[in-house]
Amino acid sequence: MTTAHPATPTDTLLYRVEQGVAVISFNRPDKLNALTPEMLTGFFELVDRATQDPKVRVMVITGEGRGFSAGLDLSVIGTGVSKSAAPSSYGPCALAQWGDDVGPNLQRYFSHGWNALITSRKPTIAAVNGAAFGWGFILSLHCDIRFAAESALFNATFARLGVPAEKGIGWLLPRLIGVARAADLLYTARRFDGREAERLGLVNQVLPDDELMPHALKYAQQIAANSAPRSLAAMKAQIWSAGDDCYDEAFSAADHEQDLAVQTQDFREGITSLREKRSPNFKAE
């Protein structure tokens, strides 16, 4: 059963929950889902809603129409920014020098909210159906898994805009595909398609356009149906923190989680379902 929820006041985001999967869609297809500050506000709120909803086990992020997201809608910054008005450094305080041209709430999202997909306890999947440029590219990287349509295009546009690798992707991108490949994409700011993204290891799989969402939903629903929520939360934390720990620390942390897990109903249900050769019926966290 699909549950409809109100989106933002401008309906630039869509949200539905079906079979344990929350689908969050950018819904500004005439602008290739270019992001406004209000859309970002609403998006992070929907991620939080899905994280807190016990009926949701997995999130799928996608875009309506021909684009995933073309990135920040530059019209919200305004056209009155001259060289003399541009900040000498980059960050929330520097952006304040631009005044009202930056747009409502934009400064807030240069530091807050962007880690919502990573810090959520629930798995996140990007279904990249078209252009994923700039901030759209960043949001796809913050998901745990990425599937791409054959028509998908990616672009880390930042060097051509005179800004650094934003929102943590200077850390994320090398971690996903290696330093040299990340440097190539960041330094050249070139566009590349889904097939190259797959070869680079940036996306898990490329699919024909009309198969992308059915595949992503089926994949997400299988996780929702067969994987224990507590295990998913622990594994996600392990995956994203593993690069910061030495092996001994990671091993010790995993042992601690194991000691807690074997005391849970999910563990008992997992063992019982295997013995009874049936699908598990895990409870919410």
3-state class (DSSP) for residue 13: strand
Q: Could you tell me which residues are beta bridge partners of residue 23?
A: 16, 60
| pLDDT one-digit tens code per residue, 210-263 | 999 999 999 999 999 999 998 899 899 888 876 555 545 555 665 566 566 657
Side-chain half-sphere CA neighbours of 190 within 13 A: 11
Least confident of 2-11, 41-50, 188-197, 259-268: 2-11
pTM of the model: 0.78
pLDDT above 60: residue 179 = yes
The residue type found at 199 is R
Higher-confidence residue of 108 and 194: namely: 194
The fraction of the chain above a pLDDT of 70, given in percent, is 72
Measure CA 176 to chain center: 14
Helices (H), the chain: 37-52, 92-95, 116-119, 135-141, 158-161, 169-177, 179-188, 194-200, 212-226, 229-241, 247-261, 265-275
pLDDT in tens, 25-67: 999 999 999 998 889 989 999 999 999 999 999 999 999 999 9
- Which of these ranges, 182-186, 241-245, 277-281, has the smallest mean pLDDT? 241-245
Asked whether the beta carbons of 217 and 232 are under 8 A apart, the reply is no
Mean pLDDT of 115-135: 94
Alpha carbon distance 227, 280 (integer Å): 8
Rounded-to-integer distance, Cα 65 and Cα 83, Å: 36
Contact 88, 254 (CB under 8 A): no
C-alpha distances (whole Å) from 38 to each of 29, 43, 44, 220 are: 16, 8, 10, 27
Report the interhelical angle of 169-177 vs 179-188 (nearest 10°): 130
For residue 197, is pLDDT > 90?
yes
Alpha carbon distance 153, 61 (integer Å) = 16
Domain 3-224 has CATH 3.90.226.10: yes
Question: Between these two residues, 191 and 159, which has the higher pLDDT value?
Answer: 191
pLDDT over 50 at 110, yes or no? no
**Helices 229-241, 265-275: crossing angle, 10 deg rounding:** 110
Tokens matching residue 35: 């992001």
Q: Which amino acid is at 281?
A: N
- Mean pLDDT, the chain, rounded, equals 80
| Listed residue (109, 104, 127) closest to 26, CA to CA | 127
Q: Which two tokens stand for residue 168?
A: 């943590």
Position with higher pLDDT, 158 vs 254: 158
Q: What is the Cα–Cα distance from 214 to 201, expressed in whole angstroms?
A: 22
Measure the CA–CA gap between 176 and 243, rounded to whole angstroms: 11
Give the pLDDT band of residue 95 (cuts 50, 70, 90). Answer: very low
Q: Are 245 and 73 in contact (CB under 8 A)?
A: no
For 155-159, 192-196, 238-242, which range has the lowest pLDDT when averaged over its residues?
238-242
